Structure 1
Amino acid sequence: MEVSPASYYDPAVVALCAEQQTELEERYAGTDEAPQGIDPEATFLVARIGREPVGCAGLLPLGPRMAEVTRMYVRPIHRGQGISRLLLARVEDLAREREVRRLRLETGDLQPESIGLYQSAGYTRVPAYGRYVGSPLSLCFEKHLWPVRS
């Protein structure tokens, strides 16, 4: 498996984010949650097996030394293989390279697999922030990063 950087307009990112949105719309059918676009300020990482893109994750700047993990997604057929954990670790590495010291993220209350991943990776619940304030389905998490010692 290979993880490589990609832009928000990369066809793999566009396809994976569209699949993620479809899955979320199905999971949250009947709610008022609005579809999310792909933020052009985000830097993406794409996981590939051979040439096939199987997952992605984005890093979106939020402010000085703060960023958000966004658009974390692995195709269902490839879940349970550690790809999401690898993508999360690589996004954290990218954040450290950019001197980010606090990572935030949002997931939905109907996504126990995501909640479990984030909690097991050291993220703790925080109050809703930014566009998630007032969303009854959103759960927000945060992790403090420390510089890698050489």
Structure 2
Amino acid sequence: MLPIITRERPDTFDAISLITELEAFLESLYPPESRHGYSVDKLLAEEVAFFLLRVNETPACCGGIEFVGNEYGEIKRMYVRPQFRGLGFAKLMVNHLADYACAHNITLLRLETGVHQREAIGLYERLGFYRIPLFGPYINDPLSLCYEKRLVSPEELGWSPGFFEQTAGALQDDPLIRYSQGEYEEREPLE
């Protein structure tokens, strides 16, 4: 089972299928005024970089990132199909979005999630996101929680510009090592 992440337009059949499933899930938890997810048309209009994770060519997970000027990147439309949960795919996608942000000199990630999405909240907190005051369109929504995470830029670490492009975001302490095409290969953890 080799997960592959690729950038894709959100108006493809697979992307629309995942977004539709996400909307149905959120509809069961929140009233319309508390569902802030972008439509496919808005994802396109706002030029959200959108990615799909596939396993054996089956779409399993999606996520996007919208750059808000040079200030931060906001994670959008994160979703993992139920049959693929618990396999680390959400972590792979968030890490991929973080790498994408760093490659574009964005070192702050933000996101909004709902108060009823305990699994998502747990994931974001485990990945180092911390709660912040509600921002932007979420300010008056009592069912929203907002998080952010500061990313370390290659320059802050003393590495040359283009570091992430050259290494494709490989993480030596992660048992899944990325390759430049967005493919992943399971490896033994480094000691």
Q: Of 118, 121, 124, which residue of structure 1 is paired with 2:124?
A: 118
Q: Could you say which residue in structure 1 is the equivalent of 2:136?
A: 130
**Whole-Å separation in 2 of the counterparts to 1:139 and 1:26:** 18
Deviates further, 1-10 or 17-26: 1-10
Q: TM-score, normalised by structure 2?
A: 0.74
Q: Could you say which residue in structure 2 is the equivalent of 1:145?
A: 151
1:25 partnered with 2:27: yes
1:85 partnered with 2:87: no
Gaps of 5+ in 1: none
Q: Which amino acid aligns with 1:137?
A: L
Q: Could you say which residue in structure 2 is the equivalent of 1:5?
A: 7
Task: Name the SS for the 1:2 alignment partner.
Answer: strand
Whether the 8 Å CA contact 1:55–1:84 is kept in 2: the answer is yes
Question: What's the offset of the Cα at 1:136?
Answer: 0.6
Q: Could you say which residue in structure 2 is the equivalent of 1:76?
A: 82
Percent identical among aligned pairs is 34
**Whole-Å separation in 2 of the counterparts to 1:97 and 1:65:** 14
Question: What's the offset of the Cα at 1:35?
Answer: 6.1
Q: Could you say which residue in structure 2 is the equivalent of 1:104?
A: 110
**Whole-Å separation in 2 of the counterparts to 1:66 and 1:95:** 8
Question: What's the offset of the Cα at 1:45?
Answer: 1.2
Q: Could you say which residue in structure 2 is the equivalent of 1:49?
A: 55
Aligned residues: 149
Could you say which structure has the larger radius of gyration?
2
Gaps of 5+ in 2: 164-191
> CA RMSD for the aligned pairs?
1.5
Gap change, CA 1:32 and 1:59, over 3 Å in 2: closer
Whether the 8 Å CA contact 2:34–2:144 is kept in 1: the answer is no
After the TM superposition, which segments of 4 or more aligned residues of structure 1 sit over 2 Å from their partners?
Answer: 30-36
Deviates further, 80-89 or 38-47: 38-47
**Whole-Å separation in 2 of the counterparts to 1:129 and 1:6:** 28
Task: Name the SS for the 1:141 alignment partner.
Answer: strand
CA-to-aligned-CA distance 1:28-61 (integer Å, 9 cap, x gap)? 3x57434632322211111001111010010111
